[in-house]
Amino acid sequence: MDLKVKFPGKLRVDAEYGPFNIITDQDGSAPPPFALFLASIGTCAGIYVKHFCDQRGIATDHIEIVQRMERDPLSNRIGRIFMDINLPEGFPEKYKDAVIRAADQCAVKKHMQNPPEFSIKTNLAKAVS
């Protein structure tokens, strides 16, 4: 499936992905693109945690993942990402390590660890006669 990027005005840049319109804006009316990148990591881990708990009949309404980033001072890029999975009182002790392994299966994280190659080119519109 293709993702199409559109430029509706000012600093807003939107992406169409299937039936979804993903809005980004550097002016603050929507999340900036980098925030969506970071959110994709945490929410991806969350999907795996949710699936793990659902399979075992464990409620997830009081589970929370807190994601923190540490910048590399030399590159000013993110050097480390930390995730704390906050579990509610009464969460089964035998599943504490397993829930970490579930979050670790995140496909976004795996793609970052073995990133795809990028190919960027231009295409000029042809004149209509």
> Which regions of 10-110 does DSSP assign to beta strands (E)?
12-17, 20-25, 64-71, 78-86
| Euclidean distance between CA atoms 60 and 42, whole angstroms | 15
Domain residue spans in the chain?
1-30, 32-113
Residue 66 pLDDT grade (very low, low, confident, very high; cuts 50, 70, 90): very high
Residue 104 confidence (pLDDT) above 80:
yes
Residue 129 confidence (pLDDT) above 80:
no
Geometric angle at alpha carbon 78, from 73 and 83, rounded to 5°: 125
At 1-43, the pLDDT tens digits run: 899 999 999 999 999 999 999 999 999 999 999 999 999 999 9
Residue 112 confidence (pLDDT) above 90:
yes
Helix boundaries (H) for 10-32: none
Question: The whole model's pTM is what?
Answer: 0.89
Residue 100 pLDDT grade (very low, low, confident, very high; cuts 50, 70, 90): very high
CATH number, domain 32-113, options 3.90.1150.10, 3.20.20.80, 3.30.300.20, 3.40.50.2000? 3.30.300.20
